[in-house]
Amino acid sequence: METALLLVEAIPQKLDAIVQLVRNGLCCVKDLQLGPGYIHDPSVTAKYYRFPEPLDQTTPLEIAICLCQFFAFVSVSKSGYGLMTKSGWFKLKRVQRLVQVRASSSDDGKNATSAATSTSDDAINRIIDESLEKERADANRCIFVGANVLVIGLSFFWLVCNSLHITQTNWVGGLQALIHALTVMEIGLAPLLYYMLKDGAAHLVRSASILQFRDKLSKALDDKKKNSAEQLLGYETYCWIREGGWSPFWEKPAASPRAGKKTQMEENVGLYREMKQVRVFVEGLTHGDRRTASVKTIVAEAKGACEDGRLDELSVETRWHGYFEYIYFVLNFIAFYGYMLGVLTYYFDDDYLEGTYTGSLRFGYNNASADWGGNFAGDAMWTVEPIFILSTPMLLGWIQPKKAAGVKAKVE
């Protein structure tokens, strides 16, 4: 779930995908009773450790599944907590502090600028303010998404217990607690499905916007219409034309919700440093003397984005990220629907569902078949998903075989 793992680092994300692939692949093996018979034989487990009843029914395959599920319990819960805190609440407090600093210093900054510089202030302020507003919205979203990811992670505890047949006892609430955990996972997954659709549509719109911006900027630079170029600049467009993108420090997760005076001073210095870099680029592009070397470099960077295919590559990559989000949605929706059938068939028997609208959700199958089929569909889709996640960089390489070396596209 790319949406649920927005800010997870590259290595842990790959590790999570690999463990997910192993976990759900083994679940498919269990569902279909594949492989050598001894992996499905609880007596093989008893040779190494004798569990009490009914845990003595645990097979070697279920032990392996249990270990992978425990990893998910720890990893997904940790990811959800990190999204809620460092990428959510902590970052939100930092962005709010920076917004207050911006508001308190805006009047002084306007009075201190020259006439030539003041004409660029709108674009500069727009870039900084839009970036801060985006990070504030992302932080709020991370709090909500993180809460959903956290409850999904915690629910894995009962899946661990189920693999060890503990849910056949009353130690952790029994089978009913397992069904409650699956229900909570379904509730937590539903908003993530919505965000996959939303993000997919946003990527497609952004892809088209990149090409429109490329044409407008190219025309403005060729015609040397400084005001036209200035009006085109905003947070996203500024990121697009900067080689390697633009990542101000406030985009990174925050370490603490309560920064001391030293940290606040460092953030203030960082804010002014970012503003200075933006000002140098914007003023050089829109009002600088193009005979000077520094301005020539800035204009060349902006023109290069239009002429060397960097924006075209970024548009293609962004569009395919949108398609990938839709693929993630399809895979996770099938898994969502399949696991939902297990909850449905637990609460309603065959006679109650027969002939009802709710019963039609089973596609005409009885409870036993619908439960097995839904569980297998969920396991299969969550086996395919990590394969797709791990192959995404290779797929993007095939899509853009002529991507220039050293050009690092930034896709938001």
Q: Is residue 109 part of a domain?
A: yes
Q: Is residue 342 part of a domain?
A: yes
Note down the domain range covering 144. 3-399
What is the rounded distance in angstroms from the CA atom of residue 62 to the CA atom of residue 39?
Answer: 8
**Any idea which residue has 């800010």 for tokens?**
7
DSSP 37: G
What is the rounded distance in angstroms from the CA atom of residue 365 to the CA atom of residue 359?
Answer: 9
**Alpha helices per DSSP H over 243-288:** 261-286
What is the rounded distance in angstroms from the CA atom of residue 128 to the CA atom of residue 116?
Answer: 19
Q: Is residue 409 part of a domain?
A: no
Phi first, then psi: what are they for 201, rounded to 5°? -65, -40
Q: Is residue 407 part of a domain?
A: no
What is the rounded distance in angstroms from the CA atom of residue 67 to the CA atom of residue 163?
Answer: 9
Q: Is residue 410 part of a domain?
A: no
- How crowded is the C-beta side of 247, counted as CA atoms within 13 Å? 11
Q: Is residue 174 part of a domain?
A: yes
- How crowded is the C-beta side of 108, counted as CA atoms within 13 Å? 5
User: Residue 27 to residues 272, 345, 372, 405: CA-CA distances in angstroms?
Assistant: 53, 20, 12, 41
Give Cα 327 distance to the centre of its chain.
14
Instruction: Say what the pLDDT of residue 402 is.
Output: 53
Cβ proximity of 254 and 96 under 8 Å? no
Cβ proximity of 342 and 186 under 8 Å? no
Nearest to 257 by CA among 141, 136, 89, 101: 89
Instruction: Say what the pLDDT of residue 10 is.
Output: 35
What is the rounded distance in angstroms from the CA atom of residue 122 to the CA atom of residue 140?
Answer: 26
Q: What is the mean pLDDT of each run of 10 residues along the chain (412 residues)?
A: 37 81 96 93 90 91 96 95 94 93 69 49 90 95 96 96 93 93 96 96 96 90 70 91 90 79 83 92 79 81 86 92 95 96 87 70 86 95 94 83 43 42
Domain count, the chain: 1
**Any idea which residue has 């193009």 for tokens?**
290
Cis peptide before 386 (omega within 30 of 0): no
Enter the pTM of the model: 0.87
Residues 6+ apart with CB under 8 A from 273: none
Q: Is residue 293 part of a domain?
A: yes
**Alpha helices per DSSP H over 164-224:** 174-222
- The full length of the chain comes to 412
Q: Is 148 exposed, middle or buried (0-12, 13-18, 19+ CB in 10 A)?
A: buried
Taking phi over 0 as left and psi of -120 to 50 as alpha, with beta for the rest, 217 belongs to: alpha
Q: How many CB atoms lie within 10 A of CB 11?
A: 8
Instruction: Say what the pLDDT of residue 366 is.
Output: 87
Q: Is residue 197 part of a domain?
A: yes
